[in-house]
Structures are given as structure tokens and as C-alpha cells.
Amino acid sequence: MDGLKRVPVREQDATERAHNFAEVCLGYDLNEAKAEADRCLKCKNPKCQTGCPVNIDIPRFIGKVSEGDVEGAYRVISEYSALPAVCGRVCPQESQCEAKCIRGIKGEAVSIGKLERFVADYAREHALRPEVNAEKKNQKVAVIGSGPAGLTCAGDLAKNGYDVTIFEALHEPGGVLVYGIPEFRLPKDTVVKSEIENVKALGVKIETNVVVGKSVTIDELLEEEGFSAVFVGSGAGLPKFMGIPGESANGVFSANEYLTRNNLMKAFSEGYDTPIAAGKKVAVVGGGNVAMDAARTALRLGAEVCIVYRRGEEELPARVEEVHHAKEEGVEFKLLTNPKAILVDENGWVKGMRCSRMELGEADASGRRQPMEVPGSEFEFELDTVIMSLGTSPNPLIVSTTSGLEANKRGGIVATDEYGGTTKEAVFAGGDAVTGAATVILAMGAGKAAAKGIDAYLSHRKK
């Protein structure tokens, strides 16, 4: 076996999977996992670990896989992460742990993500659960939002003996894991539900249908409901639109709406009441992971789909793997293309889009080459659906209803230290609510740091 190359992971065939919502990646089996684990060099000074936002002891868990002790590997990962089956699937490993892998200098990095996924799936299939053995502390902590930041923070606090309640605005816990990321990348009933069950098994309570800021305020949680600290992991918030003509036509959706109808409300599935106007000819505007998710969802609902992005392929912010999967499945990429107007029929529905061609100029402050319009290059094409995937801006709800909690100019909650402390005592924050839209694992890292911050704050206060 060629040690320079990783053990390939089995995937559902592209032509087949373009028409179903089953998971694309099929994962390793035990033999494949052991073979891949054997490629690890067990570095004395493991760089991979420094690339992990939650600092998993990667060589130690891979060592256990290599020995065939998958349960042991799961125990190692569980010390650091509450959501390994999620992370093994949606983390951008290629720019984190795997980017630092010494194997990767010459040849391909160890497939750390796929190994993590294998271990987590094995644990689920064998009903292994994380262990709690901390002494109960008589202090209540409220966690707002049950996405990756909230679940991680809640899990870590519960492991430390705190009495934790998560408040979730929607009717299902999971945040972006259930409303945003599609089934074919992250199966809900198996993977997500089971990881949430694991967090609950640590003693965490989850109250759904509570919109903090409306149903109850943070001040009330602290002053009336007996919580000693609050973690805000409320997520990214309001979808952005371009502000071009025709954007309010029927058939124009935010990626959040399109994905929520499909993922959370299961519009794709027979027997669920929520409708979705899936579209026949769909353009997704944007080039991030969410855009790829929306495009691949529309494809599976039977549409012809293109991505419209104003920069070039190299500038696409989505993970390479996602772009690759989208292309394999038949999503067309209209790059260096910028929408100017959405064309609307007499009934108020989308009938097409006017775009102009772009070229890349000098790099701007962010280091990305600035797209510039090619004069006279406007063209039109037919469409019935446009999905805007341009990112989000923070939801002002919590900041505007909490006394003394400050936000920055962009609306994100101001974190005053690396442990998620805010301008308000006893209130901590992390994840997209602070940084604006980012990744699952960064949110988990922030949740983890805040759990430390809350523990330090409450231990100190007791004395």
C-alpha cells in the first residue's frame, strides 16, 4: 500500500445521489479505518492537535483505532468533543488538523476527519455514551441556543457538575445542524439526534419553543429563574439580500428559508405539511458552503441548478470537497458573474436574471482580488427560482432586550476575553452570535472556551 496516499472513502455514486437525500459519504469500515490510522506518524509534537479548535488529542485517538480499540478511541475524543459524529462530517479538516499533518508535507495528510467520523459512528452503533462522574454543583446555568456552540458549552458544564438548561427558539434542538446543513451531509435522525441525546445523557435539559428576548429575557433568567450564569450561543441570524430589483418576487428565497423548509420542516419528504416551491431552473447566488448546500438540495428536488458567483473558482469560500461534490452531481458554476436584476413576470414570479461578467482586479485589504464589472457584458437567462446565499447579519433580539450587553458595529455581541466574557456580568457568548457566520467547529471551540470561563467565574464567585 502506498503510504503517501490516504485510504479512499466510499461514496454514493454521483448520478444516483443527485436524486436522493441519503448521505453522500459512506465512511470507513474497521479495516479501512485501521489501515488509515496506521499512516499516522505519531509525532512527538503533534501539530494536528494545535490545528483543532477543540484541541482533541488526535494521535492518541488514532493510536487506539490502529490497535483496533475503537471504544478507547471514542473515550479519548469524548474528553474534548460532544459532537464527534457531526465534526467528522462537517469540519473543514483540510484547513485545520489535516492542514498541519506532517504526512501531508509529502503526500496526503492522514484522513483525521474520516477517522473521527468512523469512531463516532461506531460508538453510536454500539450504544456507547460519554461518561459523567463529576460531583453535582448546586448552580444553574442557562444556555441560549442548541446549536454547536450551545451543545458544546452545555455538555462541558454538565460534565463539570453544573445544572444546565438549554433554551431553543425552534421546535427541535440542534440549531444549524438541523435547519441548515442538509440530510445528505449530516443525517438528522441518526447522527444529529443521537449526539443531542448524548448531551442530554450528561444531565442537560433542553426547553424548546423559548425565544430568549421574547418568551423570557436574560435579565429574568438571572434575576427570577435562579440561573447563576448565561451562555448566549444564539447563532447568526438575519439573511442578507442584495438590494437588486426583483428581489421581492415570488420564487426568490434566502438560503436559510430554502434550507429550513427542506431540512427542519422536511418539505422533501412525503407526509410533511410544509410546502416548498422547489423550482425547475434554479440559480443560487453565492459561493460558500451554504450556497453549495442550497444548490445540491435544489438539485435533489429535481431542479436544474447553477451557482452564480462574482469571483473565480479559487476564491470560492466553500470547502473544496463541497464544490467537488456539487460539480460531480451536476451543479453548473457561473463564475465571475454578478446579478444585476431579477426579472419578474406579470404575476410577480421570477422569470430570469440579468447578470454582468466580472474580471478580477488587484487584491483588496482582505487579500482577495476585487471583482470588477466588464463594461457592456450584461446578459440575461431564464430562471424560475433564485436562492440568495450571501451570509447573515446578527439577530438584534438578545442584545436589544438585555441590559448592559453590548454589540459591535456589525451587531455581533462583544466578547471581552478569550473565554466568551461579555460587557454584562454573568453573561458569556460565543459562536456566530459573536463572530458572525463561521463554522460549526469554531462555534464549538467558543462554546468550550465559554464553559471554562463560566466555571472560573462561578467557582470564583462562590468563594
Partner 1 sequence: MYEIIDKKRLSDAIVMMEVKAERVAKSCMPGQFVIVKIDERGERIPLTICDYKRERGTVTIVFQTVGASTERMARLEKGDFFRDFVGPLGKSCEWTEEPLAKLSQKKILFVAGGVGTAPVYPQVKWLHENGISADCIIGARTKELVILEEEMSRVAEALYVTTDDGSYGMKGNVNDCIKKLVNEEKKSYDLIVAIGPLIMMKFVCLLTKELGIPTIVSLNPIMVDGTGMCGACRVTVGGEVKFACVDGPEFDGHLVDFDQAMKRQQMYKTEEGRRYLKEREGSSHHGGCGHCE
Q: Give the footprint of partner 1 on this chain (CB under 8 A).
A: 169-171, 179, 208-211, 214-216, 237-239, 241, 243, 247-250, 253-254, 256-257, 260-261, 265-268, 271-280, 301-303, 347-349, 384, 395-397
Least distance from partner 1 to the Cβ atom of residue 421, Å: 26
Least distance from partner 1 to the Cβ atom of residue 257, Å: 4
Phi, psi of 25 (to 5 degrees): -90, 130
Nearest Cα neighbor of 249 from 331, 393, 353, 338 is 353
d(CA 243, CA 157): 43
Nearest Cα neighbor of 446 from 455, 456, 458, 433 is 433
Strand partners, 285: 308, 388
Least distance from partner 1 to the Cβ atom of residue 143, Å: 17
Least distance from partner 1 to the Cβ atom of residue 382, Å: 12
Nearer to partner 1, 40 or 222 (CB): 222
Nearest Cα neighbor of 257 from 148, 388, 147 is 388
Nearer to partner 1, 348 or 361 (CB): 348
CB atoms within 10 A of CB 163: 18
Least distance from partner 1 to the Cβ atom of residue 460, Å: 32
Least distance from partner 1 to the Cβ atom of residue 187, Å: 17
Nearer to partner 1, 15 or 215 (CB): 215
Strand partners, 311: none
Grid coordinates given for 49: 492537535
Nearer to partner 1, 238 or 414 (CB): 238
Residue 397: is it exposed, middle or buried by C-beta count within 10 angstroms (0-12/13-18/19+)? middle
Nearer to partner 1, 248 or 416 (CB): 248
Q: Are strands 385-388 and 281-285 parallel, antiparallel or unpaired?
A: parallel
Asked whether 381 and 352 are in contact (CB, 8 A), the reply is: yes
Residue whose C-alpha cell reads 454543583 in the numeric block: 137
Least distance from partner 1 to the Cβ atom of residue 203, Å: 22
Nearer to partner 1, 36 or 384 (CB): 384
Nearer to partner 1, 204 or 259 (CB): 259
Least distance from partner 1 to the Cβ atom of residue 258, Å: 9
Residue 7: is it exposed, middle or buried by C-beta count within 10 angstroms (0-12/13-18/19+)? buried
Nearer to partner 1, 280 or 340 (CB): 280
